[in-house]
Amino acid sequence: MKKFLLAASVSALTAGAALADEVRIGVLLGFTGPIESLTGHMADGAELAFQEINDAGGILDGQMIVPVRADSGCVDSALAQASAERLITSDGVVAIMGADCSGVTRAVLENVAMATGVPMISPSATSPGFTDFDSGGLFFRTAPSDARQGAILAGIVMERGFETVALTHANNDYGAGLANAFIENFEEMGGTVTVVVPHEEARGDYTAEVGTLSAAGGDALVILGYPDGGGSTLRTAWELGAFDQFFIPDGMFGDDLIASVGEALEGTVGTLPWAVGEGPDRFHAMAEEAGFAGESSFTRESYDAAALLALAAQAAGEATPAGIAANILRVANAPGEEILPGDLARGLQILAEGGEINYVGATNVELIGQGEAAGTYREYVVEDGQFVTVQFH
Amino acid sequence: MDILNALVVLTNFVLIPGLAYGSQIALGALGITLIYSILRFAHFAHGDVMAFGTAFVILGTWGLQAAGISFGPLPTALLALPLGIAVIILYLLLADRLVYRFYRRVKAKPMIFVMASLGVMFVTNGLTRLLMGPGERRFDDGQRFLVSAREFREWTGLAEGLALRSSQVITVVVALIAMGVLFWFLNRTKSGKSMRAYSDNEDLALLSGINPDRVVWITWAIAGTLMVLAGTLYGLDKSFRPFTYFMLLLPFFAAAIVGGLGSPVGAIVGGYVVAFAEMGITYAWRRVFSHLLPADWMPAGLMQALPVDYKFAVTFGILVVVLIFRPTGIFRGKTL
CA-nearest residue to A37 within chain B is B135
CA–CA distance, B88 with A256 (Å, rounded to integer): 31
pLDDT of B159: 85
The reply to whether B285 touches chain A by the CB within 8 Å rule is yes
Which strands sit side by side in the sheet containing A164-170, from one edge to the other? A192-199, A164-170, A220-224, A246-248, A269-274, A376-383, A386-392
End-to-end alpha carbon distance in chain B? 49
Q: What CATH number is given for A2-144+277-373 in this structure?
A: 3.40.50.2300
Interchain CB distance below 8 Å, A217 and B21: no
Query: Is beta strand A164-170 parallel, antiparallel or unpaired with respect to A139-144?
Result: unpaired
Are B286 and A216 in contact (CB < 8 Å)? yes
B152 touching A (Cβ < 8 Å): yes
8 Å CB contact of B308 and A36: no
Task: Reduce the DSSP state of residue A29 to 3 states and report it.
Answer: strand
List of chain A residues whose C-beta atoms are within 8 Å of the C-beta of residue B284: 211-212, 215-216
Answer yes or no: do A241 and B13 touch at CB < 8 A.
no
Q: How far is A250 from chain B (nearest CA, A)?
A: 21
> Inter-chain contact A241–B148, Cβ cutoff 8 Å?
yes
Which among B5, B13, B54, B145 is the top mutation candidate for probing chain A, defined by the most A β-carbons within 10 Å of its own β-carbon? B13
Chain B CB contacts of A210 below 8 Å: 13
Whether A240 and B279 lie within 8 Å, measured CB to CB: no
Does this chain's domain A2-144+277-373 share its CATH topology with A147-274+376-392? yes
Q: Please check whether residue B165 touches A, CB under 8 A.
A: yes
Q: What distance in Å separates the CA atoms of residue B128 and residue B260, rounded to the nearest whole number?
A: 31
Q: Please choose, from the candidates B18, B11, B17, the residue with its C-alpha nearest in 3D space to the C-alpha of residue B275.
A: B18
Q: What is the pTM of this model?
A: 0.78
Residues of chain A that touch chain B, judged by Cβ-Cβ distance less than 8 Å: 32, 36, 171, 195, 197-200, 202-205, 207-212, 214-217, 228, 232, 239-242, 260
Radius of gyration of chain B (CA): 21
CB-closest option in A207, A216, A241 to B17:
A207
Nearest to A104 by CA among A72, A134, A71: A72
Q: What is the mean pLDDT of chain B?
A: 91
Length, in residues, of chain B: 336
Q: Verify whether the Cβ–Cβ distance A260 to B138 is below 8 Å.
A: yes
Return the bridge partners of A122, or none.
A141
Q: Does B153 touch chain A (CB under 8 A)?
A: yes
Select the residue from A201, A212, A256 to test the B interface by mutation, using most B Cβ atoms within 10 A.
Answer: A212
Other beta carbons within 10 Å of A391 = 9
d(CA B45, CA B51): 10
Say yes or no: B244 contacts chain A, CB-CB below 8 A: yes
Residue pairs spanning A and B at CB distance below 8 A: 86
**Judging by beta carbons within 10 Å of its beta carbon (0-12, 13-18, 19+), is residue B172 exposed, middle or buried?**
middle
The residue of chain B with its CA nearest to that of A241 is: B149
The list of chain B residues with pLDDT below 70 reads: 1, 334-336
**Residues in chain B within 8 Å Cβ distance of A234:** none
| pLDDT of the residue at B336 | 55
**CATH numbers and ranges of domains, chain B:** 2-325 (1.10.3470)
Q: Do A239 and B149 touch (CB under 8 A)?
A: yes
Q: CB distance from B17 to chain A under 8 Å?
A: yes
pLDDT by residue for chain A (393 residues), tens digit each?
555 555 555 454 444 444 458 899 999 999 988 788 788 899 999 999 999 999 988 888 889 999 999 999 988 899 999 999 999 999 999 999 988 998 999 999 999 999 999 999 999 988 888 888 888 899 999 988 888 889 899 999 999 999 999 999 998 888 998 999 999 999 999 989 999 999 988 788 898 899 889 988 889 999 999 888 899 999 999 988 889 999 999 888 887 788 888 888 889 999 988 877 888 889 999 999 998 888 888 899 999 999 999 999 999 988 999 999 999 998 988 888 889 998 899 999 999 988 899 998 888 888 887 778 877 888 999 988 888 888 888
How high is the pLDDT of residue A1? 52
Instruction: Please tell me the distance from the alpha carbon of residue A60 to that of residue A316, in angstroms, as a whole number.
Output: 9
Q: Do B287 and A215 touch (CB under 8 A)?
A: yes
The answer for residues whose C-beta is within 8 angstroms of residue A125's C-beta and 6 or more apart is A99, A100, A101, A102, A105, A106, A141, A143, A174
The domain spans of chain A are 2-144+277-373, 147-274+376-392
Do the Cβ atoms of A241 and B138 come within 8 Å?
A: no
Q: Taking CB atoms and an 8 Å limit, are A202 and B138 in contact across chains?
A: no
Cross-chain Cβ contact A241/B278 below 8 Å:
no
CB contact under 8 A, A216 and B12: no
- Closest B-chain CA to A211: B13
pLDDT of residue B53: 97
B243 touches chain A (CB under 8 A): yes
Question: Which helix (DSSP H) or strand (DSSP E) does residue A155 occupy?
Answer: helix A146-159
Do the Cβ atoms of A214 and B287 come within 8 Å?
Answer: yes
Architecture of domain A147-274+376-392: 3-Layer(aba) Sandwich (3.40)
